[in-house]
Amino acid sequence: METMENQTVTKESFKQAARQDNYSGHDYYNIEDLLTEEQKIARDATRDWVKKEVSPIIEDAFERAVYPRHLLKGLGQLGALGPSLPAKYGCAGTDEVTYGLMMMELERGDSGIRSAASVQGSLVMFPIYKFGSEEQRMQYLPKLATGEMIGCFGLTEPNHGSNPSDMETRIKADGDYYILNGAKMWITNSPIADIAVVWAKDEDNVIRGMVVDLTLEGCSAPEIHGKLSLRASITGELVFDNVRIHKSQVFPNIKGLKGPLSCLSKARYGIAWGAIGAGLDCYDSALRYSLEREQFGKPLAGFQLTQKKLAEMITEITKAQLLAWRLGTLMDQGKATPAQVSMAKRNNVHMALEIAREARQIHGGMGITNEYPCMRHMMNLETVLTYEGTHDIHLLITGMDVTGLNAFK
Ligand code: TGC
Ligand code: FAD
C-alpha cells in the first residue's frame, strides 16, 4: 500500500512537472546556466509570443495550407527578423546564441514560422547588410526588420538544386541596367514577396547577387501547390523574362558562389537551433502522453520500451543542444567554420525527425491526428532535411573536411 502511494505521488509529481515549461528534464545538462540574462529574456519572449500567436492557429493553418502572413509583423515586433544585425538598421544587435534561441522557440511552434524568419533575416537582410552598399542597407533593412516589406531568396533553379554553381539565370549589361533572364524554383515566400535577393551569372560567368523589385515588368512568382510538408509556409517560383535591373541594385561587395553560400551558413546555423525546438515539442508531447495514457493497467511511460524511446530522445536532444550552443559561441567569436555549421544542421535536423517519428509512435493512433503536434513536425522536418543543403550534401561536406578529398567533383 505504501509503495502504491509512493508510486502515485511520483507519477503525479512527474505529470505536474511535465506540464510546466521549465521541467528540468527538457534541459538535462543545465544549459540554462550557460546563457546570459539577455539571451534568456529573448528566448522567453519568443516562447511567449509563439504560445500566444502561433500555437492557437497553427494546426488549422497547416491543415488548410494557409500561410499566416499577419505573423510577419509580429515577428518584426518581437525582433526576430535579422536580430543580430545592427540597431542602426532597425535590428536588435543581439549575439548569435540569442538568434539561435529565438529560432529554436519559433520552430517549437512550427518549422514554417521559423522559415519565415530565417529567410527574411538570414537570406535577405544578411546579404543586403554584408554585401550591399550603405544606400541599399538604408533602403531595405529597416522595412524588412519590421515585416512591412517581405523578401525572398532565389538560388535554387529547376535544373540546379544541390549544385548551384551550374545556375543558368543570367544578367547581361545594357547601359545603366542589366537584363535578367532565368527561373528560380522552390522559393520560400516568393508569391507574396516585395523583393528578392537573386543570384545570377554575368557575361564573365561570375555569380552576382542583386535585389530585385518583384513589381518590375517581366517578374512573376507562381505558387507551388500540393506540398504535404511546410504547409503553413508559402513556396513558389521566380520567373524573370527580360527584367531591367538598375546596376545600383547589384551588390557591390561580393562576387562568386561564396556570396550565397555565406548566407546559407547563417541560415543553416539558425536551423541547427530551430530543429531542437521541433524535437522538444515532440518529446514534450510524448512524455506527457505516456504519463497520462494507461494500457495494461499502468501508464505507457512505465513500460521499458517506452522509457527506452524517451531516454534516447532526451539524450539526442541534449547532444544537439550542446552542439548548437557551442557552435553559437564559436560564431560569436568569429571562429565557426562552414563545415562545423554543416555538421550541426545535418545532425540536429536528423535528430528532430527521428524524435518526431518515435514520438508519433508513443501517441499510438492519436499520433496521426492534429490533436498532437508530432505528425505536423515530422512532415515539416522532411523539408528541413532537404532545404539549405540536403542531409547527404552535408555528409559530403563533412567527408570533404575530414579527408581533404572532394566527392562533388
Ligand atoms: P566550392 O568550390 O566548395 O565553394 C565555392 C566558394 O564558396 C566558399 N564556401 C562557403 N563560404 C561560406 N559558407 C559556406 N557554407 C561555404 N561553402 C563554400 C568556398 O570556400 C569557395 O570560396 P572561394 O573563395 O574559394 O571561391 O563550391 P561547390 O560548387 O563545389 O559547392 C559545394 C557545395 C555542394 C557544398 C555547395 O554548392 C552547397 O552547399 N550546395 C547545397 C545547396 C544549398 O544548400 N542550397 C540551398 C538553397 S536556399 C534554401 O534552401 C533556403 S530554404 C529557406 C527556408 O528556410 O525556408
Ligand atoms: P537535388 O539536388 O536534385 O537532389 C536530389 C537528391 O539527390 C537528394 O537526395 C540529394 O541529396 C541527392 N544528391 C544530389 N547531389 C548528390 C551528390 N553529389 N551525391 C549524392 N547525392 C546527391 N531554395 C532557395 O534558393 N530559396 C528558398 O527559399 C528555398 N526554399 C525552399 C522551400 C522548400 C519547401 C523546399 C522543399 C525547398 C526550398 N529550396 C529553396 C530549395 C532547396 O534548397 C533544394 O530543394 C535543395 O537544395 C535540394 O535541391 P533539389 O530539390 O533540386 O534536389
Residues near 257 by Cβ (< 8 Å), separated by ≥ 6? 164, 165, 207
Residue closest to 47 by CA, chosen among 382, 281, 271: 281
Enter the CATH code of domain 151-249.
2.40.110.10
Pocket test for ligand 2, best of 114, 156, 229 (most atoms within 8 A of CB): 156
32 is catalytic: no
Pocket test for ligand 2, best of 67, 197, 386 (most atoms within 8 A of CB): 386
> In the chain, what are the domain boundaries?
22-146, 151-249, 258-403
22-146: which CATH topology? Butyryl-Coa Dehydrogenase, subunit A; domain 1 (1.10.540)
Q: Is 393 in the pocket of ligand 2 (CB under 6 A)?
A: yes
Q: What is the mean pLDDT of the chain?
A: 94
Distance CA 11, CA 31 (A): 26
The pLDDT tens digits of the residues spanning 357-369 come to: 999 999 999 999 9
Q: Is 340 in the pocket of ligand 1 (CB under 6 A)?
A: no
Q: How many CB atoms lie within 10 A of CB 90?
A: 19
pLDDT at 1: 29
Whether CATH 3.40.50.920 fits 258-403: no
The pLDDT tens digits of the residues spanning 324-382 come to: 999 999 999 999 999 999 999 999 999 999 999 999 999 999 999 999 999 999 999 99
The pTM of the full predicted model, rounded to 2 decimals, is 0.95
The pLDDT tens digits of the residues spanning 181-240 come to: 999 999 999 999 999 999 999 999 999 999 999 999 999 999 999 999 999 999 999 999
Q: What are the cell numbers at 349?
A: 535536423
Q: Is 258 in the pocket of ligand 1 (CB under 6 A)?
A: yes
Residue 152 CA: nearest ligand 2 atom is: 28
Nearest ligand, CA of residue 389? 1
User: Is pLDDT of 103 > 60?
Assistant: yes
User: Is pLDDT of 10 > 90?
Assistant: no
User: Between the CA of residue 245 and those of 39, 156, 206, 275, 361, what are the distances in Å?
Assistant: 41, 20, 17, 37, 52
CB of 266 closer than 8 Å to CB of 120: no
Q: Do domains 151-249 and 258-403 have the same CATH topology?
A: no
Tell how far the Cα of 387 is from the centroid of ligand 2, in angstroms: 6
Nearest ligand, CA of residue 107? 1
Q: Is 223 in the pocket of ligand 2 (CB under 6 A)?
A: no
